Amino acid sequence: MSPSTASILILDDDDDVACAAQLLLRRRHARVATLDDPRELDAVLGEGVPDVVLLDFNFAPGRIDGAEGLAVLDRLRALPRPPGVIALTAYADVPLAVEALKRGALDFITKPWDNDRLVAAVDSAVARRNASAPAHGAAGASPLMGESGPMRELKALIAAVAPTEANVMVLGENGVGKELVARAIHAASGRAAGTFLAVDMGALPETTFESELFGHRKGSFTDARADRPGRFQAARGGTLFLDEIGNMPLGAQAKLLTALERREVTPLGADRAESIDVRVVSATNLEEARLFDPAVFRPDLLFRLNTIVLRVPPLRERADDIPQLLHHYLSLYESQYGRPVRELAPSAQEQLCAWPWPGNVRALRHACERAAILAAGPDYRFEDFGLAATTSTPVPAPAAETPQEDFRLGALERETIAAALDKAKGNISLAARMLGLSRAALYRKLGKHGF
């Protein structure tokens, strides 16, 4: 699997923590940077807004209230297209993590973290940034744009459903904006002042499913060093959005069903259950017929989740909204990238409105971003959007050359360090001991080899 091109920024004053996270995430994301002082953030943002920020909340010696991190979070959320923010907290900072979620953080990770959990959280944040338009809650953004017949009908249903406590299932193809619909439901509900917490169910490893959703007690398993709340507890009083619900294994579906039926969860290692107070909104891109296949989805869980079903129309069924969407996103990216304001040539708009948009609004947004960056003429032309190339037959890649063995000392040293880091699961101190190096010496070698 090739590393993604997403940019990740780790903002933490603990060099060990930042380096460990950087080494772990570089296996999946090509651009991972670290920063230890929030006062230098403006310089970083001047070179481009990262896709995801892992944000610690205390920097000055002796500070434990999290005010510094919350201030940084507010600054990031005020950007025209803010990054997805994941809060990095100590076990004692659970109330702080909940406050961060209320202010727009996507998720929270407790330190020390589980590597699989951190990777899943970052992957999910990258996917959400690619899928949402712009990042949820962005200043000046209309969450659900469009005045076509299908969109007016959808908005009317949201207005009718939102004030109730009914569970809602949102159906639709990839890229149609299912999370935006869920956020619109939350914003118009009596829980709007509470937390909206999105969980990518497809990214949760089945082995940690209960711990992530229901929480755990200290000592309940090997790495459970302290009590930790689950997502149901963190979203108390608000809305829990269970995205990609159709990707859950049947075993995990049974556990979720029990929690919804009883309105309570039992953290791993606890001897009694805790009541839950959340509204559940779920979403899936599965074809609706597949949800009624018991080999794919439990009928009793479907009954609990789909009290109300909202179907988000694909963009090809609401072509009347395309001009508004084009104008919005072109203006957005002209502003974001400091590009000149251009008009959309009439012939280009006609072609774009006739385009089938298999990736829906997400694909349209990406095409507008490309056009805003690369267009050179006085007007936007159809060719600026990079769509014609998507229909061409891909050219086969040339046959790879037979790899040659590399016995150079530097290459062997790099491979040895990489193997030690992998075996140590990114733990710098442990890897250094395995290699017979001091931690400082290992850091120098990491820099030398570009880890």
Task: Encode pLDDT of 82-120 as tens digits.
Answer: 899 999 887 656 678 778 888 888 888 888 788 888 888
Please report, for residues 27, 81, 415, the alpha-carbon distance to residue 411 in angstroms, rounded to integers and kept in the order given. 18, 40, 6
From 278, 313, 348, give the residue that closes a domain: 313
Residue pLDDT, tens place only, 372-383? 999 999 999 999
SS3 82: coil
Indicate if the pLDDT at residue 140 is higher than 50. Answer: no
Write out the H or E segment, with its range, that includes residue 184. Answer: helix 178-187
From 65, 90, 114, give the residue that closes a domain: 114
- Centre a 10 Å sphere on the Cβ of residue 117 and count the other Cβ atoms it contains: 19
Whether omega before 112 lies within 30 degrees of 0, making that bond cis, reads: yes
Phi-psi region at 237: left, alpha or beta (left = phi > 0; alpha = psi -120 to 50)? left
Q: How far apart are CA 35 and CA 72, in angstroms?
A: 13
- Residue closest to 201 by CA, chosen among 107, 284, 134, 114: 284
The percentage of the chain sitting over the pLDDT mark of 70, rounded to a whole number, equals 87
Same domain, 307 and 354: no
Q: What is the pLDDT, as a whole number, of residue 93?
A: 65
Same domain, 184 and 278: yes
CB 177 within 8 A of CB 133: yes
Residue pLDDT, tens place only, 241-266? 999 999 888 989 999 999 999 999 99
Q: What is the pLDDT, as a whole number, of residue 430?
A: 72
Query: What's the token pair of residue 49?
Result: 């807004």
Sequence letter at residue 437: L
Q: How far apart are CA 359 and CA 285, in angstroms?
A: 12
Q: How far apart are CA 29 and CA 7, in angstroms?
A: 7
Query: Whole-prediction pTM value?
Result: 0.65
Residue pLDDT, tens place only, 29-50? 888 999 999 889 988 888 888 9
288-300: average pLDDT: 92
Q: What is the pLDDT, as a whole number, of residue 406?
A: 47
Domain contains 415: yes
Same domain, 94 and 173: no
Residue pLDDT, tens place only, 179-199? 999 999 998 999 988 889 988
148-173: average pLDDT: 93
The percentage of the chain sitting over the pLDDT mark of 90, rounded to a whole number, equals 43
From 114, 139, 159, give the residue that closes a domain: 114
Domain contains 299: yes
Same domain, 29 and 167: no
Q: How far apart are CA 378 and CA 340, in angstroms?
A: 9
Q: What is the pLDDT, as a whole number, of residue 315?
A: 95
Indicate if the pLDDT at residue 297 is higher than 90. Answer: yes
The structural domain count of the chain equals 4
Please report, for residues 284, 430, 450, 451, the alpha-carbon distance to residue 436 in angstroms, rounded to integers and kept in the order given. 49, 10, 20, 19
Which has more confidence, 311 or 91? 311
Q: What is the pLDDT, as a whole number, of residue 293?
A: 93
Same domain, 188 and 309: yes
The DSSP bridge partners found for residue 240 are: 197, 280
User: Over the chain, what is the mean pLDDT?
Assistant: 84
Same domain, 166 and 237: yes
SS3 425: coil
The sheet carrying 279-284 orders its strands as 196-200, 239-243, 279-284, 168-171, 308-311
425-448: average pLDDT: 70
Sequence letter at residue 123: D
**How many contiguous H segments (helices) and E segments (strands) does the chain have?**
18, 14
Q: Which domain holds residue 55?
A: 4-114
CATH number of the domain where residue 356 is located: 1.10.8.60
Domain contains 93: yes
Q: What is the pLDDT, as a whole number, of residue 153?
A: 93
Sequence letter at residue 349: Q
Same domain, 110 and 88: yes
Same domain, 308 and 321: no
Q: What is the pLDDT, as a whole number, of residue 186?
A: 92
Please report, for residues 72, 91, 318, the alpha-carbon distance to residue 67 in angstroms, rounded to integers and kept in the order given. 9, 17, 45
